[in-house]
Structure 1
């Protein structure tokens, strides 16, 4: 019985945390953005697009920043040039990877840097 109640409470908490009011990110240059993470305070939405780039969107200002590897423009670039964001903080700093290396994406500066170089 305790496991059932705990499971129900956990499910309810997950549903409540997922209930954001973001339904549309206005970006006409690439209509397929796949938001995969949202900051704890709900201000920043982040994730990849279908062309190997990543974005961070500020829900308060409506500004969007895109990040990509310089090698992504090369027609011979492979999937290792693609970027991904796995988490975003309350101040707009995303963490993920680009060029098959761990990276930090900063909304404020519009730049990213490798974490282990």
Structure 2
């Protein structure tokens, strides 16, 4: 699997990778923006794809393969930690309805370091 987020792509962009199949592709329809997601797979047995876009904060795709769900997330750097946490919890809750084994990948744009004085 190859998961690319914040791709800045347009519908006319050629994005094929030899040996892989595009199973999810989202992009800006008019201009190149810090938005977009492309997921490539070699494995053919995809059972279900769930897509979500939370306006300008977060977008994700959840792909079920056998007994696993692979969740690819892009979060805007303008989102607060609380917004990201809420959306990720929603993504996990929705995905667990049809799959218990989750793998989460992506660009979270959050700083988890504890700040000290």
Same-fold call, TM cutoff 0.5 = no
Normalised by the length of structure 1, the TM-score is 0.28
1 or 2, which has the higher helix percentage?
1
| Structure with more of its chain in strand, by fraction | 2
